[in-house]
Structure 1
Amino acid sequence: MLTTCLKRTPARMFAIRLVVIASILLWVNNSHAAYLAGNAKPFHNGGTGECNGCHSTGAVESGVPRRGNLLGSDASSTCLRCHQSTEGFQHDEPYQVATSGITLVEGIAPRNLTPGGDFGWLKKNYRWSGEGRDKEASQGERHGHNIVAADYGYSADTRLSIAPGGNFPSNSLSCISCHDPHGNYRRSVDGTISNAGKPIIASGSYNDSPDPDGLSTVSVYRMLAGKGYQGAPGVEFTADPPAAVAPSAYNREESSTDTRVAYGSGVSEWCSNCHGSIHDAGTGRATQHPSGKQGKLSAEVTYNYNAYISSGNLNGSSATAYNSLAPFEMGTDEYSVLKATANSNGSNKSGATMDSNVMCLSCHRAHASGWDSSMRWNVNTTFIVYDGRYPGTDNGAPAAIAQGRTSAEVKMAMYGKKASDFAVYQRSLCNKCHAKD
């Protein structure tokens, strides 16, 4: 009996191995399928996701060799396999940052409303007849960061060869120019950020994220890259990711309540990894708006922000002053404070304080928007609300104000906020801080 058992042991062990391997493959495939079905947060979980979610672990697909055996033809194409929304998307997949199927479709706006914006705006070109000028235009590539994603029709900026204020080459810009695809950067219990150390247990981006402890860390905000990261050949980051927290529900219309990301500190300093000299004096850009730690709000600006409701209405209060179209940095890296502030249900609408400061994202979106220079509102028109409505080619607004867009496109670019939230003839939201009108 013993001899018989021993003779059968290798076959049995081989069978056991097959069962184990099959179980692992089934788990990986099921896990990845669940991810593709809309569960990206667990996929990354703050760090490196499943390898075969981005890389081919077998033969190169279609016989086309790809760098790193990526599943897309380039880095951004690989990201957009999951981060571009499919047809019929209804704002229930929070991690989508690009809308599919809207190239050159007149009157149709990109659908994603994440705080960073929708890359689909890069494909929306607008032309109109201006006042006193033959033609006016708002080209799609001027609407944000022009990522290179060949599989999805995104290409490098044709006008800017390098990043304004820096030396980052435009033809190298991809999702992983800013985000570390393997999520190595982590925040420890003492607040320090590093790209190695104790294991990452979860994302650190949300108001319901766990806190790090003595045995674990959490990912930095949005898996952004930090010091020492090579964003492109010859471009090494010198600043770590900012202290920031987003609400867990963030890809949504803001018709009733704002989506408030609690920006704590370090946003503009992180942007300087690629745009280092854009705010420096003596570089030809000395007139650029102050930003970052050097852009603390004065007493006058703090008062203006909190009092300003709309053009001609300065009857607001600091308790309800926040507007996601003009966010500010809070001037803190205390995550307990940031988590208590970030929300999408209107639970915290508090305005600016003397600790607050202007940051790059006070006026711009990180990815793209419906407006030139990735602005949060249209700075190239006199009125952003005209005769009580969002101006559009479909409602009789002057061409110089509608600027080739339908009123529905304007509303989406304003994140679904109601036109009635503003004055009947609402001017630029620069006035939220400067209160000129």
Structure 2
Amino acid sequence: MRKFVALFVCLALILWAVCAIAKVTGPCADCHTMHYSQNGKSDNYPAGGPFPSLTIGDCIGCHTGDVPVKGTNDEIPVVLRNSEPTGTGPNMSLAGGDFYWVGTGDDAKGHNVTGISGEDQMGRTPPGWDPTDNAAKAYGVIANGETIWSKQLTCAGTYGCHGYHDEENDYRAIKGAHHGNDDCLKADTLDVSEQGTSTATSYRFLYGIKGIEDKDWEYTAQDGSTDHNQYYGVDGNTNQTAPTISFLCAECHGDFHADIQDGSVWIRHPTDIVLPAKGEYEKYNGGTGSANPYSVLAPVGSDLSTGIRDTINPGSADAIVLCVSCHRAHGSEYDDILRWNYTGECEAGQGDMTKCGCKVCHTEK
């Protein structure tokens, strides 16, 4: 009996120690269940369990809900709504948008993630995929460098965006991340030098990526304020600056913007460039060319050295054009996962920059 008590006490101390260093907040029951049942049945939990790590659902199950954030303390971001959202953007969805529309079968409106939607009609292999550009990395090679992907996109792992790419299983790919110390990613305790060294210290669990995380995933984001994510970006002509948010996109779509020069049959909008400090660009988001208000609709990146920016200066390192300047990461109500209605709100000579992100940068078109 004494051995049992001693063992119980030791176990309790161990669990207490783990909880004491955990960075995730809220009741354990918001995410975990001991037996995947309540009152003898599992109707209260997502289908398919029990799940590893005693979670109440898998990645999708845990991050599906009726509202953009859920949990006792609003600590769980929702990326897949149970009913159609009123749109994407502040007070409607989170920064990455919502998988709802692609989940209903509209391939053009989101990434086709296993468990959310069927395979894209174009196939499993991402457009712009270059298997030769995925040299061995410390955190693994996406899709094992396959020329043609043998499996559909997943949330995390070898065929996913989050966690380690050398581990195919979603759970093992992000193991420990939710309970890791992520202070280095927060504005108040920012330490860029510590970012990207593990899944927990990587921006939104995107291994190796740096950035500054907004506390409510941009649910209440506002223009001209510091209430938003700050994306890491650089001015360059290669995809080798691994910690940037555009590099994350380029890991799968690296050739999508290849050879964008005049005369090419593959002319595309540039990314990873400084927004020019002249002409139409200097008036970004209605500014004058200096201390222009940051736009949540058409965000730009920075080198993170000055924290979260409420203003940006065209022509400088805090005004980097990114992939996510135009696209959302998860899904949106617009084709090509765009952040705005490109075909309905953007017209030359007229239009509202609060509805057409093109006009946030191209102010005189």
| TM-score past 0.5 threshold | yes
The corresponding residue for 2:336 is: 373
Matched, 1:116 2:78: no
Please give the per-residue CA displacement for 1:128-154, whole angstroms capped at 9, x wherever unaligned.
Answer: xxxxxxxxxxx63211211111xxx53
Matched, 1:16 2:11: no
Please give the per-residue CA displacement for 1:254-288, whole angstroms capped at 9, x wherever unaligned.
Answer: 57766432222222222211111111128987311
Please give the per-residue CA displacement for 1:72-119, whole angstroms capped at 9, x wherever unaligned.
Answer: 99xxx61123222246967973542324321xx6x8557752211122
Matched, 1:433 2:361: yes
Contact conserved, 2:95 with 2:328, CA < 8 A, in 1?
Answer: yes
Alpha-carbon distance between aligned partners in 1 of 2:246 and 2:35, rounded to the nearest angstrom: 33
The corresponding residue for 2:239 is: none
SS of corresponding position for 2:296:
coil
The corresponding residue for 2:283 is: 307
Alpha-carbon distance between aligned partners in 1 of 2:269 and 2:152, rounded to the nearest angstrom: 27
Matched, 1:84 2:52: no
Taking a change above 3 Å as real, the CA distance of residues 97 and 35 of structure 1, as seen in their structure-2 partners, is same
Alpha-carbon distance between aligned partners in 2 of 1:28 and 1:143, rounded to the nearest angstrom: 40
Alpha-carbon distance between aligned partners in 2 of 1:162 and 1:280, rounded to the nearest angstrom: 17
The corresponding residue for 2:161 is: 178
AA aligned opposite 2:2: R
Alpha-carbon distance between aligned partners in 2 of 1:308 and 1:117, rounded to the nearest angstrom: 23
Size of the aligned set, in residue pairs, is 303
Question: Could you tell me which of 280, 286, 298 is aligned with 2:258?
Answer: 280
Taking a change above 3 Å as real, the CA distance of residues 353 and 54 of structure 1, as seen in their structure-2 partners, is farther
1:292-303, aligned counterparts within 5 Å? 292=272, 295-300=273-278
Unaligned runs of 5+ in 2: 37-41, 131-142, 144-148, 164-170, 234-243
Contact conserved, 2:26 with 2:75, CA < 8 A, in 1?
Answer: no
Question: Could you tell me which of 288, 302, 315 is aligned with 1:353?
Answer: 315
Contact conserved, 1:94 with 1:250, CA < 8 A, in 2?
Answer: no
Q: CA deviation at 1:183?
A: 4.7
Contact conserved, 2:79 with 2:99, CA < 8 A, in 1?
Answer: yes
1:325-340, aligned counterparts within 5 Å? 325-330=297-302, 332-334=303-305, 337-338=306-307
1:148-297, aligned counterparts within 5 Å? 148-149=114-115, 153-166=116-129, 169=149, 171-176=151-156, 177-180=160-163, 182-183=173-174, 201-209=181-189, 211=191, 219-225=201-207, 240-241=208-209, 243-254=210-221, 259-265=227-233, 266-281=244-259, 286-292=266-272, 295-297=273-275
Please give the per-residue CA displacement for 1:162-207, whole angstroms capped at 9, x wherever unaligned.
Answer: 1010066384211101111555899xxxxxxxxxxxx963353321
Alpha-carbon distance between aligned partners in 1 of 2:265 and 2:34, rounded to the nearest angstrom: 40
Taking a change above 3 Å as real, the CA distance of residues 170 and 374 of structure 1, as seen in their structure-2 partners, is farther
AA aligned opposite 1:319: A
SS of corresponding position for 2:187:
coil
Contact conserved, 2:293 with 2:312, CA < 8 A, in 1?
Answer: yes
Question: Could you tell me which of 26, 34, 41 is aligned with 2:27?
Answer: 34
Contact conserved, 1:202 with 1:219, CA < 8 A, in 2?
Answer: yes
AA aligned opposite 2:214: P
AA aligned opposite 2:201: S
TM-score (norm 1): 0.55
The corresponding residue for 2:77 is: 96
Taking a change above 3 Å as real, the CA distance of residues 299 and 178 of structure 1, as seen in their structure-2 partners, is same
Q: What RMSD in Å do the two structures reach over aligned CA positions?
A: 4.7
SS of corresponding position for 2:232:
strand
Contact conserved, 1:304 with 1:432, CA < 8 A, in 2?
Answer: no
AA aligned opposite 1:324: V
TM-score (norm 2): 0.64
Larger relative helix fraction: 1
Alpha-carbon distance between aligned partners in 2 of 1:353 and 1:26, rounded to the nearest angstrom: 51
Contact conserved, 1:318 with 1:352, CA < 8 A, in 2?
Answer: yes
The structure that has the greater radius of gyration is: 1
Percent identity (aligned): 23
SS of corresponding position for 1:274:
helix
The corresponding residue for 1:144 is: 110
Q: CA deviation at 1:289?
A: 1.3
AA aligned opposite 1:205: L
AA aligned opposite 2:311: K
Alpha-carbon distance between aligned partners in 2 of 1:431 and 1:282, rounded to the nearest angstrom: 21
The corresponding residue for 1:413 is: none
Q: CA deviation at 1:370?
A: 1.6
AA aligned opposite 2:334: W
AA aligned opposite 1:286: W
Question: Could you tell me which of 291, 306, 328 is aligned with 1:319?
Answer: 291
Unaligned runs of 5+ in 1: 1-10, 41-51, 125-138, 187-198, 226-239, 343-347, 389-421
Taking a change above 3 Å as real, the CA distance of residues 317 and 142 of structure 1, as seen in their structure-2 partners, is same
Q: CA deviation at 1:365?
A: 0.9
